[in-house]
């Protein structure tokens, strides 16, 4: 295999310990996920007595499988894990995912057990994900070892690296039931006794399926190595990062009011910016930015053209751009002349533009089209944001229109924002726009945050350094 | 009537100009809304020729109606509005809603027409909402004059005052199709040639149905009067405010980089804080805060107890609390002892608390219950935030549990946050929690923002002044 992490995502064979033939244990969920995602490799169960579990052949130990096993998944109580790891080592299994919790996350006794587990892994030349990992997901191979019952997710370019299991759990279900952007891989690192962010970044750099890397981290232990590898990887694949624990509030409120924390956060942001890592706020920000980077071309600069059917949309967009350090250039002479035919005599083109004046001369669709064409043709409007409010009175095929704009200006990101809609109209418009790779957001601020991520990454790639938030 | 604004929301009779018997004009939408919301008063149409429109009797002018008309809605081209206003005045109609646009929003000619309209209204002792108003909504009377086809919305305590029509349009459809908090009134002020924020605040102060006032404003023209009335109203009804145009970026980017704007914004925030107005970010923040204030009792202080099934939830909550100036007090001796039975020996209670250790001793439900009971019983934990990730493996009746906690501690706000869920589970949990008046949010940051709004308003009411954001 090309990397010693490959078997965590694309193994030819897997053994799962912790499933039962008589009860629904966590290991059974892992087996069910492998089936539900149509994993094409060989699957074995490890069980002291059962000969078969859920149609999968079971063996008392790895050594008795009699075939090569690429990766073993231990969904066992921590008391049984060390023996399981030794069995894996004896059988020549090089990769092990330890889903058991109760290690460094659980007092000194657990920490000692984690140390022992790490020693076995290192001394026998294995690689371990975890302990306290909720598992991995790889949509292209259907290899899914999550401890939570998932549903198939559309393959896509976004890979996620996180200590938390959220992305192999609740958010995986959110993606499969509501999102179109598609997922590539999830690595839940857990306690990081062996494999950490640095290892996974290096792996994803060489992974042909991964286009964008989204990370949630509460602290990178190998800081220097992380910055080095992130600087390299981010040249070819954007890295979006949500950092938890930036204020260090944690347990004690009192200690946090020293004022030193904001400084630390600034240092961290500076280091990440130098490495080309795009630092976002909140899990929403993580997905919003990753989606924009997945769908859109990189803009040639940080300037937006904003077209809105509501005046409030233009005002809130201007506020959000100002806060993010993005610019709204005035319309050029040429753009103004182009848009003129669609406007009443007394009206003039502005940026952001409230299209209601344009709808006085024609339909809502014509209003959007005239202004959007003028903005798209203006060279220094690098990103277009189109704000809709979905009421029956302004119904038209917005996706078709934006697709038309994209086709004539394939170099410009086009983002859409909905300010208010019935549930059914929102779903319909969301699907038709996102199927055409136009990212949709439900607030002006989130749209502008996503535009900022695009502009920031584009500036890094052009070598201008990163725009401050 | 108790106020000269009452007829904008609860008239006994209304006349609509701008509907047609042969085409679907904007006035027809208004008539259809009145029917769809079951408005119980008398409805007349004003039309030069038609004897009846959509079953509503039509007259060529107000004077010919022959009955008293409380409010007239003009959905006419601006060229016809002045004559319509004069007809209203002659017929003794005291209130007029002008939905036509094209006034001060549309060049000098429009501004002059607005001046003339205002003069008629003032000289004849009338009150006018608009021009450029999208209409009003009053759920208790079913009086809905929006220009957009709406669907019935559950009555509730939240009234909305805004220049923009968004809340009588797209967001009204959003409320009716997805939200349970309920709406009282919407006033779309438009160009504010007569009725403005000060008038509507004074009206809503005396409105028995309004419990919370949510405002979107791009600038209050009568600043001193606004602060006076807001100071008084906010003693009895919370006012939540989203201010658009705070950065003054608007048209010209260049002029906005003088650095003076942040100062102006700080002055504005200070003035609003003194008046007890809760200043929020984004339309999400407006609804999130208003919902929390609608559902929850006022907390006795700014301290949170956070219980989460995911470690990331505890870390992100600590970060968000720090940024908002909210506190996470350590668990008391008593709380720790109470929770002890549900925890492994090596584990101890903390705040925020990751309940996974508690689930080692029992079910997920027991884990939440044990910690929540301990936190709820601790006097200096004033607000409880419960973080869920909705995976099938942790399914239980969360609403029933939180209801149990609320019943024993009715003085404490209980908020819920979902970190990841399938669409169907999210909807199910959302409904069951919100039916019990537990506000639900889809991100840690939005939950904490809502908790901050509760704590801020409570502090104002206690006379401590307002916490900084």
CB A386 within 8 A of CB A307: yes
Mean pLDDT, residues A148-177: 97
Mean pLDDT, residues B113-123: 97
Is residue B373 in some structural domain?
A: yes
Helix, strand, or coil (residue B316): helix
CB B134 within 8 A of CB B101: no
Q: Which of B51-60, B90-99, B262-271 has the lowest mean pLDDT?
A: B262-271
A172/B316 CB distance under 8 A: no
User: Alpha-carbon distance B360 to B227, whole Å?
Assistant: 54
Smallest Cα distance from A170 to chain B, Å: 4
CB A228 within 8 A of CB A174: no
Is residue A189 in some structural domain?
A: yes
Interface test with A, best of B29, B253, B314 (most A CBs within 10 A): B253
Q: What is the mean pLDDT of chain A?
A: 92
Per-residue confidence band for B30, with pLDDT thresholds at 50, 70 and 90: very high
CB B364 within 8 A of CB B345: no
pLDDT (0 to 100) of residue A258: 36
Q: Quote the Cα angle for B81-B82-B84, to 5°.
A: 65
3-state secondary structure chain A: CCCCCHHHCCCCEEEEECCCCCCCCHHHHHHHHHHHCCCCCEEEEECCCCCEECCEEEECCHHHCCCCCCEEEECCCHHHHHHHHHHHHHCCCCEEEECCCCCCCCHHHHHHHHHHHHHHHHHCCCEEECCCCCCEEECCCCEECCCCCCCCCCEEEEEEEECCCHHHCHHHHHHHHHCCCCEEEEEECCCCCCCCHHHHHHHHHCCCCCCEEEEEECCCCCHHHHHHHHHHHHHHCCEEEEECCCCCCCCCCHHHCCCHHHHHHHHHHHHHHHCCEEECCHHHHHHHHHHHHHHCCCCCCCEEEEEECCHHHHHHHHHHHHHHCCECCCCCHHHHHHHHCCCCCCCCCCCCEECHHHHCCCCHHHHHHHHHHHHHCCCCCCEEEEEEEECHHHCCCHHHHHHHHHHHCCCCCEEEEEEEECHHHHHHHHHHHHHCCCCEECCHHHHHHHHHHHHHHHHHHHCCCCCCC
B170/A390 CB distance under 8 A: yes
Percent of chain B predicted with pLDDT > 90: 83
Contacts of residue B391 in chain A, CB cutoff 8 Å?
A: 148-149, 169-170, 173
Q: Which residue of B has its CA nearest to A167?
A: B420
Mean pLDDT, residues B325-353: 93
For A166, the closest of B110, B327, B389 (CB atoms) is B389
Q: pLDDT digits over A213-252, tens only? A: 999 998 888 889 999 999 999 999 999 999 888 876 543 3
Q: pLDDT digits over B401-449, tens only? A: 999 999 999 999 999 999 999 999 999 999 999 999 999 999 999 999 9
**A51, A155: one domain:** yes
Residue A92 pLDDT > 60, yes or no?
yes
Is residue A231 in some structural domain?
A: yes
Mean pLDDT, residues A25-33: 95
**B252, B307: one domain:** no
B282/A316 CB distance under 8 A: yes
Is residue B467 in some structural domain?
A: no
HSE-CB at B2 with a 13 A cutoff on CA atoms is 9
Give me the torsion for CA of A422, A425, A430, A433, rounded to 10°. -140
Helix axes B423-435, B398-408, angle to 10 degrees: 20
Is residue B425 in some structural domain?
A: yes
Is residue A467 in some structural domain?
A: no
A282/B389 CB distance under 8 A: no
Smallest Cα distance from B434 to chain A, Å: 18
For B245, the closest of A315, A346, A445 (CB atoms) is A315
Contacts of residue B351 in chain A, CB cutoff 8 Å?
A: 251
**A454, A316: one domain:** yes
Nearest to B425 by CA among B459, B378, B390: B390
Residue A134 pLDDT > 50, yes or no?
yes
Residue A143 pLDDT > 90, yes or no?
yes
User: Alpha-carbon distance A89 to A126, whole Å?
Assistant: 7
pLDDT (0 to 100) of residue B465: 57
Mean pLDDT, residues B77-82: 94
**A209, A322: one domain:** no
Q: pLDDT digits over A349-407, tens only? A: 999 999 988 887 889 999 999 999 999 999 999 999 999 999 998 899 999 999 999 99
For B420, the closest of A102, A170, A445 (CB atoms) is A170
The residues with which A110 forms a beta bridge, in sequence order, are none
Percent of chain B predicted with pLDDT > 70: 95
Count of structural domains within chain B: 2
pLDDT (0 to 100) of residue A263: 54
User: Alpha-carbon distance A16 to A76, whole Å?
Assistant: 10
pLDDT (0 to 100) of residue B220: 84
B351/A251 CB distance under 8 A: yes
Q: What is the DSSP string of B132-193?
A: S---EEETTTTEE--SS------EEEEEEEESSSGGGTHHHHHHHHH--S-EEEEEE-TT-S
For A174, the closest of B316, B346, B422 (CB atoms) is B422
For A316, the closest of B148, B162, B244 (CB atoms) is B244
Among residues A258, A292, A326, which one ends one of the domains? A292
User: Alpha-carbon distance A239 to A254, whole Å?
Assistant: 34
For A170, the closest of B246, B315, B391 (CB atoms) is B391
Mean pLDDT, residues B124-137: 96
**A314, A237: one domain:** no
Contacts of residue A417 in chain B, CB cutoff 8 Å?
A: none
Contacts of residue A323 in chain B, CB cutoff 8 Å?
A: 247
**B74, B216: one domain:** yes
Among residues A292, A321, A336, which one ends one of the domains? A292
A153 CB burial (10 A radius; 0-12, 13-18, 19+): buried
Is residue B469 in some structural domain?
A: no
CATH of residue B414's domain is: 3.40.50.261
pLDDT (0 to 100) of residue A362: 86
Interface test with B, best of A134, A179, A192, A244 (most B CBs within 10 A): A244
Mean pLDDT, residues A452-461: 97
**A339, A309: one domain:** yes
**A61, A164: one domain:** yes
**B79, B120: one domain:** yes
Distances (CA, A) of A162 to A126, A135, A159, A195: 21, 11, 10, 12
**B172, B35: one domain:** yes
pLDDT (0 to 100) of residue B261: 45
**B279, B306: one domain:** no
pLDDT (0 to 100) of residue B128: 98
**A388, A333: one domain:** yes
- Spatial neighbors of B448 by CB under 8 A, at least 6 apart, are B304, B317, B320, B321, B323, B324, B326, B385
A178/B283 CB distance under 8 A: no
User: Alpha-carbon distance B360 to B457, whole Å?
Assistant: 39
Contacts of residue B442 in chain A, CB cutoff 8 Å?
A: 284
Is residue A1 in some structural domain?
A: no
Q: Residue B418 belongs to what domain range? A: 297-462
Contacts of residue A101 in chain B, CB cutoff 8 Å?
A: 356
User: Alpha-carbon distance A120 to A125, whole Å?
Assistant: 8
First to last CA, chain B: 41
Contacts of residue B390 in chain A, CB cutoff 8 Å?
A: 170, 173
Kind of pairing between the strands at A136-138 and A183-188: antiparallel
Contacts of residue B327 in chain A, CB cutoff 8 Å?
A: 253
pLDDT (0 to 100) of residue B250: 40
Helix, strand, or coil (residue B325): coil
pLDDT (0 to 100) of residue A30: 97
Contacts of residue B321 in chain A, CB cutoff 8 Å?
A: 249
Among residues B251, B272, B292, which one ends one of the domains? B292
pLDDT (0 to 100) of residue A1: 46
A172/B328 CB distance under 8 A: no
- This model of the complex carries an ipTM of 0.95
């Amino acid at each position: 295999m090309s990397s010693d992490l490959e078997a965590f995502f694309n193994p030819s064979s897997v053994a799962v310990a912790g499933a039962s033939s008589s009860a629904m244990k966590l290991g059974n969920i892992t087996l069910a996920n492998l089936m539900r995602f149509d994993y094409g490799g060989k699957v074995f169960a490890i069980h002291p007595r059962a000969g078969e579990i859920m149609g999968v052949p079971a063996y008392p130990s790895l050594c008795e499988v009699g075939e090569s096993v690429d990766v073993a998944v231990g969904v066992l109580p921590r008391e049984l894990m060390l023996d399981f790891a030794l069995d894996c080592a004896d059988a020549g299994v090089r990769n092990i995912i330890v889903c058991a919790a109760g290690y460094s996350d659980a007092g000194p006794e657990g920490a000692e057990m984690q140390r022992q587990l790490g020693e076995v892994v290192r001394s026998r030349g294995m690689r371990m994900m975890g302990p306290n990992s909720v598992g991995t997901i790889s949509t292209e191979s259907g290899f899914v070892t999550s401890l939570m019952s998932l549903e198939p997710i559309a393959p896509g370019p976004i890979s996620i690296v996180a200590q938390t299991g959220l992305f192999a759990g609740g958010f995986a279900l959110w993606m499969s039931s509501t999102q179109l952007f598609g997922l590539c891989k999830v690595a839940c690192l857990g306690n990081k006794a062996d494999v950490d962010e640095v290892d996974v970044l290096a792996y994803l750099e060489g992974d042909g399926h991964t286009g964008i890397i989204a990370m949630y981290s509460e602290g990178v232990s190998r800081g220097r190595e992380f910055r080095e590898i992130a600087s390299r990887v981010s040249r070819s694949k954007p890295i979006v990062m949500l950092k938890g624990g930036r204020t260090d509030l944690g347990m004690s409120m009192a200690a946090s009011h020293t004022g030193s924390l904001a400084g630390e956060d600034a240092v961290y942001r500076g280091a990440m910016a130098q490495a080309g890592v795009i630092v976002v706020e909140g899990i929403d920000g993580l997905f919003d930015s990753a989606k924009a980077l997945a769908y859109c071309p990189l803009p040639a600069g940080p300037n937006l053209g904003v077209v809105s059917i509501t005046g409030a949309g233009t005002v809130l967009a201007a506020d959000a751009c100002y806060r993010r350090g993005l610019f709204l250039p005035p319309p050029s002479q040429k753009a103004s002349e182009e848009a003129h035919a669609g406007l009443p005599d007394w009206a003039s083109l502005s940026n952001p533009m409230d299209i209601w004046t344009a709808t006085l001369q024609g339909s809502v669709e014509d209003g959007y089209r005239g202004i959007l064409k003028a903005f798209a043709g203006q060279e220094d409007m690098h990103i277009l944001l189109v704000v809709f409010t979905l009421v029956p009175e302004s119904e038209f095929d917005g996706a078709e229109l934006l697709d038309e704009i994209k086709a004539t200006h394939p170099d410009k990101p086009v983002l859409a924002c909905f300010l208010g809609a019935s549930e059914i109209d929102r779903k319909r418009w969301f699907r038709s726009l996102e199927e055409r790779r136009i990212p949709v957001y439900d607030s002006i601020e989130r749209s502008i945050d996503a535009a900022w991520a695009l502009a920031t990454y584009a500036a890094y790639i052009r070598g201008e350094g990163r725009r401050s938030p």
